[in-house]
């Protein structure tokens, strides 16, 4: 067995940039460096007005319940935290202690990058469900089988997580695995009925809509 190196170093530009929701661009730093003790990711916005931190809290089905600190590495952004707008030039830290508080950020200068670091107080770190989904879905067009393998890692870690199950179902549908996809979709909606709002417009699910067990 090969020993892990005592350290790893990489420039931000050397870490792949993957598409996330909308215009959001994600750099999976934790995965790239092999970090296991805490979450660390970066988000970039090419132009003013682009989202650089999605509107979210840390209580949803894909979230990890983390405290999070955001660091504006370059550019400038407007953060909205608990309804308050914050002007955040490069070098600014924004610490969101309460996982129930909503947070969002939009770039106000070109080439804005925000680093996010998080973990759940009092617990050993575990990869958040959303990270499996972001990484797998962003790679699915180029490597569907690889994306499915990542989502099945997530399913092993979170077998009763509706968000994970939903994304597994979407990728299984694309891979022609209709029976598994329908079963996972039904279980996802049982665990998290809020996911129902995505089903009608999700084109990934179109090939299984005629299946007799597709959820009404």
Domain-located, residue 3: no
16 contacts 5 by C-beta, under 8 angstroms: no
Residue 18 near residue 134, CB atoms below 8 Å:
yes
Residue among 120, 137, 114, 128 at smallest CA distance from 42: 114
Residue 17 included in any domain = yes
Domain count, the chain: 2
pTM across the whole model: 0.85
Residue 76 confidence (pLDDT) above 90: yes
Q: Return left, alpha or beta for 8; rule: phi > 0 is left, psi -120 to 50 is alpha, else beta.
A: beta
Q: What's the confidence (pLDDT) of residue 4? A: 81
Rounded Cα distance between 98 and 75, Å, is 26
23 pLDDT more than 80: no
Tell me the sheet residues that pair with 22: none
Asked whether the predicted pLDDT for residue 165 surpasses 90, the reply is yes
158 found inside a domain: yes
Judge whether 215 lies within some domain: no
Domain that holds residue 60: 12-119
The domain boundary residue, chosen from 99, 119, 139: 119
Q: Rounded distance, CA 190 to CA 180, Å?
A: 15
* 167 and 110 housed in the same domain: no
- CATH number, domain at 54? 2.60.120.10
- 8 Å CB contact between 175 and 210: no
Averaged over 135-160, what is the pLDDT? 94
Could you tell me if 65 and 93 lie in one domain? yes
Give residue 1's pLDDT band: very low, low, confident or very high (50, 70, 90). low
Tell me if 28 sits within 8 A of 10, measured CB to CB: no
Does 6 map to a domain? no
Distance CA 47, CA 41 (A): 19
3-state secondary structure 85-109: EEEEECCCEEEECCCCCCEEEEECC
Confidence band of 24 (pLDDT split at 50, 70, 90)? confident
Nearest alpha carbon to residue 30 among 160, 152, 166, 128: 128
- Of 119, 151, 181, the last residue of a domain is 119
- Considering the domain architecture, whether residues 153 and 183 belong to the same structural domain is answered as yes
Domain assignment of residue 154, yes or no: yes
Residues 156 and 101 in one domain: no
158 and 69 fall within a common domain: no
Let me know if residue 7 belongs to a domain. no
Q: % helix / strand / coil in the chain, to the nearest 5?
A: 35, 25, 40
Domain termination residue (choose one: 79, 100, 119): 119
The reply to whether 2 falls in a domain is: no
């Amino acid at each position: 067995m090969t020993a892990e190196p005592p350290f790893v170093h990489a420039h931000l530009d050397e870490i792949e940039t993957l598409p996330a929701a909308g215009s959001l661009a994600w750099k999976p730093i934790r995965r790239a460096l092999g970090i296991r003790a805490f979450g660390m990711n970066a988000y970039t916005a090419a132009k003013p007005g682009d989202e650089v931190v999605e509107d979210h809290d840390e209580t949803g089905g894909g979230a990890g319940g983390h405290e999070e600190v955001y660091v504006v590495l370059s550019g400038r952004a407007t953060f909205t935290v608990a309804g308050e707008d914050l002007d955040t030039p490069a070098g600014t830290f924004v610490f969101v202690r309460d996982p129930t508080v909503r947070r969002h950020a939009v770039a106000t200068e070109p080439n804005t990058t925000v680093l996010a670091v998080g973990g759940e107080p009092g617990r050993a770190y575990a990869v958040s469900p959303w990270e499996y989904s972001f990484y797998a879905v962003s790679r699915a067009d180029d490597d569907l089988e690889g994306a499915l393998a990542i989502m099945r890692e997530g399913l092993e870690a979170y077998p009763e997580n509706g968000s994970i199950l939903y994304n597994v179902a979407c990728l299984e549908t694309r891979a022609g695995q209709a029976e598994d996809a329908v079963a996972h979709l039904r279980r996802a909606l049982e665990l998290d009925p809020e996911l129902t709002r995505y089903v009608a417009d999700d084109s990934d699910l179109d090939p299984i809509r005629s299946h007799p067990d597709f959820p009404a």
